[in-house]
Amino acid sequence: MKMTGAEALLKILEGYGVKHIFGYPGGAVLPLYDAILNNPNIEHILVRSEQAGAHAAAAYGKYIGQSGVCIGTSGPGATNLVTGIANAYMDSIPLLAITGQVDSSFIGRDAFQEADITGITMPIVKHNYLVKDPKKLVDIIYDAWHIANTGRKGPVLIDIPRNVFEATVDFEPRTDLVKIKGYKPTYEGHQSQIKKAVKMINSSFKPLLLVGGGVNFSKAEKEVVEFVEKYNIPMATTLMGIGTYDETKDLALGMIGMHGMPYANYAVHHCDLLIAVGTRFGDRATGSLSKFAKDAKIIHIDIDPAEIGKNVLIDLPIVGDAKSVLSEILLGIEIVERNEWLEKIIELKSRNRMLLHKTALNPQLIIQKLGDMARDDILIATDVGQHQMFAAQYFKFSQENSLYTSGGLGTMGFGLPAAEGVALAAGGKKQVFCITGDGSFQMNMAEMATIVEHNLPVKILLLNNSSLCLVKQLQHFQCDKRFSEVSFTGNPDFSAMARSYPNMTAYRIENEDEIESVLKEAMSHNGPSLIECIISDENLVYPIVPAKKGLAEMIGVEKW
């Protein structure tokens, strides 16, 4: 079939079941926008800046399990995607970024709105393409989609000159499997390695399962449940691994790391076998490497061979997809009596808590209440700061794939567009709470307009401490309380700001006894709202694993 490059792009995306794309128009993508207008199957979501589009598409993609799509025009439209792409790269989120480019004949001449976006994004994409020849467009799109969505997932960018969008191309939907010579991810674990793993697990007295974001992407939640519930193996997660297993259960220890749950960190310290799945042992999760799980043998299961042995010395590496490898292991392992270890876990859990300084209205409490009220129903997106850590610690996630947060890059401004993307992906059927801080929220607050335009069920839970409190906390400890440029001398009147967007409701929580009633009220209707909580800037996130210390050397743990 003959059609334009722009139409072919949309046809291919349709073929993959894409329903929404996030973008912002401009000169170089005009032909694409013309094609979008004529396409009945794909809805375009007009964001208010391209950065938000990239974040929204990433979160959308994480929800549906295949890459979201975002569009930016050439030049500033493309460069505005950079943070979103870097964010997706660090968290291995599948994302397809389409950028318009100036006409091929102008490339390299500093033309109007020309930016070398393939050069710029090279360090932060899984792969990228500049399409100079319209004849190659179709194959490149198929390849790009395949690369973004297989193996260790990640962002792929296709830079398409305006004339390539307009060119006539020959398009036949492809049915064969995409094959790329230099790219063959390994899914199946090596049999002999799996056998060794089974042996190690069966002979371990104190095993601990450590789950990272890779488990989410490989949809191996069921296998994790079986490990824990059938074989009585306790589990902990990294920040990205939250939402694989119900955290209210006894053997779920929650997040490890710099601000991890005290008992999760202790468990890593005490275990004799750490079965790490789909995690890259980021420095925030491990603390001092030389002290990390130092009494344990480590099995590392990951789809990316380059992650194995990169940060932590591994006793048994298994390269493969988490779901496939875990289910193979499950075939071999036995139910082993480990009462002592399980008792130890229960004891660790009941005797250690995070230190909490009482303030007039503790953000921890708000999040805890929200969890108790709605953990089985709502989805959570967060920004970056104290509020993010409180959400990871206090909400206690119970549903699969229910947390959307920026882990590796720690991108303030991710939360609101992410909530928007997830709300759309969930078809408006789930309320999405965006837990945010006054600093982060301002970074992409313009998205309120998009949220209102589509009447999305997004609830902005704004924990307003009039400061960049996580940085303030660092200054508290590292700079002897010299607080530099972290207090906002002025903040907007957030409620008034919210109300300036049509159909946005605004609430306020100022003391503890309002928490439940306001949250209930906000949840009782489906439209967007902002709930501003006035909190102190004196809260501290505990525990803390100080720099160069091991996970067990936390400060800020309360013993019971």
Smaller CB separation from Mg ion, 73 or 539: 539
Smaller CB separation from another protein, 500 or 517: 500
Residues 509 and 534: their CA atoms lie apart, in Å, by 6
Residues 54 and 25: their CA atoms lie apart, in Å, by 14
Least distance to ligand TPP from the beta carbon of 536, Å?
Answer: 11
Binding site for ligand TPP (CB under 6 A): 24-26, 50, 73, 76-77, 80, 383-387, 410-413, 437-440, 463, 465, 467-471
- Taking CB under 8 A as the criterion, the residue among 172, 175, 177, 181 binding another protein is 181
Least distance to Mg ion from the beta carbon of 385, Å?
Answer: 6
Site for Mg ion in 282-341 (CB under 5 A): none
Least distance to Mg ion from the beta carbon of 233, Å?
Answer: 38
User: What residue 336 binds from another protein, Mg ion, ligand TPP, none (CB within 5 to 8 A, per partner kind)?
Assistant: none
* 426 belongs to the binding site for another protein (CB under 8 A): no
* 21 belongs to the binding site for another protein (CB under 8 A): no
Smaller CB separation from Mg ion, 413 or 437: 437
In three-state form (DSSP H/G/I as H, E/B as E, the rest C), the secondary structure along 332-363 is HCCCCCCHHHHHHHHHHHHHEEECCCCCCCCH
- Taking CB under 8 A as the criterion, the residue among 306, 332, 372, 526 binding another protein is 306
Give Cβ neighbours of residue 481 (< 8 Å, ≥ 6 apart).
Answer: 475
* 546 belongs to the binding site for another protein (CB under 8 A): no
Smaller CB separation from another protein, 80 or 539: 80
User: What residue 406 binds from another protein, Mg ion, ligand TPP, none (CB within 5 to 8 A, per partner kind)?
Assistant: another protein
* 411 belongs to the binding site for another protein (CB under 8 A): yes
Residues 315 and 300: their CA atoms lie apart, in Å, by 8
Region binding another protein by CB under 8 A among candidate stretches 47-55, 169-177, 336-344, 511-519: 47-55
Residues 534 and 491: their CA atoms lie apart, in Å, by 12
Least distance to ligand TPP from the beta carbon of 171, Å?
Answer: 28
* 465 belongs to the binding site for Mg ion (CB under 5 A): yes
Give the contact letters, 376-395, x = binds to another protein (CB under 8 A), - = no. Answer: --------x-----------
DSSP H helical segments within 65-186, as ranges? 76-79, 82-90, 117-121, 134-149, 162-166
- Taking CB under 8 A as the criterion, the residue among 478, 511, 517, 526 binding another protein is 478
* 502 belongs to the binding site for another protein (CB under 8 A): yes
- Taking CB under 8 A as the criterion, the residue among 53, 68, 75, 207 binding another protein is 75
What is the DSSP code (8-state) at residue 467? B
Least distance to ligand TPP from the beta carbon of 215, Å?
Answer: 25
Determine the 3-state secondary structure of 224 from DSSP. Answer: helix
* 447 belongs to the binding site for Mg ion (CB under 5 A): no
* C-alpha distances in Å from residue 391, one per residue of 152, 364, 369, 403, 518: 26, 8, 11, 9, 18
What is the DSSP code (8-state) at residue 219? T
Q: Which helix (H) or strand (E) holds 193?
A: helix 191-202
Q: Which helix (H) or strand (E) holds 216?
A: helix 213-218
* 534 belongs to the binding site for another protein (CB under 8 A): no
- Six token digits for residue 389: 């850590």
* C-alpha distances in Å from residue 448, one per residue of 279, 408, 504: 34, 25, 8
Residue 141 near residue 12, CB atoms below 8 Å: yes
Least distance to ligand TPP from the beta carbon of 62, Å?
Answer: 19
* C-alpha distances in Å from residue 550, one per residue of 175, 292, 507: 51, 6, 42
Residues forming contacts to Mg ion in the complex (CB under 5 A) are 437-439, 465, 469
